[in-house]
Amino acid sequence: MPQVPTIETALNDAALSLRGKSAQTRRTYGTGFRIFVEFLTESGISVEDDSTAALQSNCLEQFYLWLVDRHGRRRTSTINTYMSAARSFLRYLARNELCPQISLERALEQVRAVAVKNVYRAPRIEGNLALLVDFSAGMPLPAPGQGDPNLRLRLLRDRAMLSTTFCTGMRRDEVVGLNRRDVGDGHNAEAIITGKGGKERVVFFDDETLAHIRRYVDARDDHYPPLFIRHHGVPSNPGRGGENVRLSAQSLWAAVKRYARAAGIEATTHDFRHNKATTLLNRGANLSEVQDLLGHASPATTKLIYAHYEVGKLREAFHKYSVTASEAAEAGPHGRKAD
């Protein structure tokens, strides 16, 4: 049996074992590991001095309840994110036989026994998200060569960026991660992106969005690869490949909130994904197609989060596929009318 390391050493080694994962996954698990350390510290365990043998057999259950106490029952997304990191750590320990007192299967069952039932509440999007995009497109632009050139570029960028978010339903990390070559400077109607979990998928752009992208790129006088960048004077250190000037996901989130307020509606970046999925479903797309378009790993995710059809759509399905008791009786047990 391998020598039992300190918890700190085991956590560092577990983090190193994630080298093959995406950068976003490594950051997320790193944050989860730090939160797990906070829990252990409050529980009287020193990660620097105590070995993995000090971990209690029900530590995963206790960590879950600690997270619920800290964040509240409704913050299931935050809690599940931190729990994913803790489960990953326990799997690493089990895989390397570093914590024999903990049965991973039993630990997961303990968590399931106390878990808060995750009742998804569909977002109540106020107003029409298209109004937000139209509002940004209607902002007056300074004439070329007049006024602040950076203001003109920011407005053109925001038009293209918000239109892209609305059109594709991509996650905000995916939107700001686009490069100019992905969309051919606004001439490619399809792009292959790497989304959550390092999975590749194809996303599609409509003509209106591509026109916004072309106008924005044509107005730029740089050759930085990122599609959406900051425009505040000349950058002193653009970084390799212009990565230091790439717009952040937080900046996209802030832009959506800013234009939403100006348009008089409430909206977040994730509302665009809900809006896109609901629109596709209500217009006839099936769950599998929406799953692929939005990059969900499981169709269950799509069904759980997005299958809130309009009443009219449900009414149409009810009248199309339902039968009365008399009709069912006449049809017989196998759905065929009796001779």
Q: What is the pLDDT of residues 278-332, one digit of tens each?
A: 888 777 787 778 888 888 766 665 665 555 555 555 566 666 766 566 666 576 6
Average pLDDT, the chain: 85
Catalytic residue among 152, 159, 171, 212: 171
CA 59, CA 94: separation in Å to the nearest integer? 14
Architecture of domain 7-114: Orthogonal Bundle (1.10)
To the query of whether residue 187 is one of the catalytic residues in this protein, the response is: no
Angle at 60 between CA 57 and CA 63, to 5 degrees: 125
Percent of the chain scored above 90 by pLDDT? 50
Residue 161 amino acid letter: M
pLDDT at 297 (0 to 100)? 66
CA 163, CA 133: separation in Å to the nearest integer? 6
Query: What is the radius of gyration, based on Cα positions, of the chain?
Result: 25
Of 124-128, 138-142, 143-147, which has the strongest mean pLDDT?
A: 138-142
To the query of whether residue 196 is one of the catalytic residues in this protein, the response is: yes
Q: How confident is the model at residue 11 (pLDDT cuts 50, 70, 90)?
A: very high
Catalytic residue among 26, 75, 91, 196: 196
Tell me the per-residue pLDDT of 170-203, one tens digit each, with 9 for 90 and over.
Answer: 999 999 999 999 999 999 999 999 887 778 889 9
Judged by DSSP in three states, 201 sits in strand
To the query of whether residue 216 is one of the catalytic residues in this protein, the response is: no
To the query of whether residue 92 is one of the catalytic residues in this protein, the response is: no
Check pLDDT > 60 for residue 336. no
Sign of CA dihedral 206, 209, 213, 219: positive
Would you state the torsion angle of the CA atoms of residues 126, 130, 131, 135, taken in this order, to the nearest 10 degrees?
Answer: 140
Tell me the per-residue pLDDT of 157-169, one tens digit each, with 9 for 90 and over.
Answer: 999 999 999 999 9
Contact 233, 218 (CB under 8 A): no
Closest to 229 measured CA to CA, from 173, 172, 158, 171: 158
pLDDT at 333 (0 to 100)? 60
Burial (CB count <10 Å: 0-12, 13-18, 19+), residue 47: buried
Contact 274, 125 (CB under 8 A): yes
Domains 7-114 and 129-282 share a fold: no
Check pLDDT > 60 for residue 267. yes
Check pLDDT > 70 for residue 32. yes
Just give the CATH number of 129-282: 1.10.443.10
To the query of whether residue 306 is one of the catalytic residues in this protein, the response is: yes
To the query of whether residue 273 is one of the catalytic residues in this protein, the response is: yes
- Determine if the pTM surpasses 0.95: no
Check pLDDT > 60 for residue 4. yes
Judged by DSSP in three states, 260 sits in helix
Catalytic residue among 270, 303, 308, 313: 270
Higher pLDDT pick, 338 / 21: 21
Q: How confident is the model at residue 264 (pLDDT cuts 50, 70, 90)?
A: confident
Catalytic residue among 172, 274, 276, 296: 296
Catalytic residue among 230, 273, 274, 276: 273
- Domain limits, the chain: 7-114, 129-282
CA 225, CA 51: separation in Å to the nearest integer? 47
Contact 193, 203 (CB under 8 A): yes
Segment 131-145 mean pLDDT: 85
Contact 156, 302 (CB under 8 A): no
* Two tokens, residue 22: 């995406």
Query: What residues contact 276, with CB distance under 8 A and at least 6 apart?
Result: 166, 168, 169, 293, 294
pLDDT at 198 (0 to 100)? 77
Tell me the per-residue pLDDT of 68-106, one tens digit each, with 9 for 90 and over.
Answer: 999 888 788 789 889 999 999 999 999 999 999 999 899
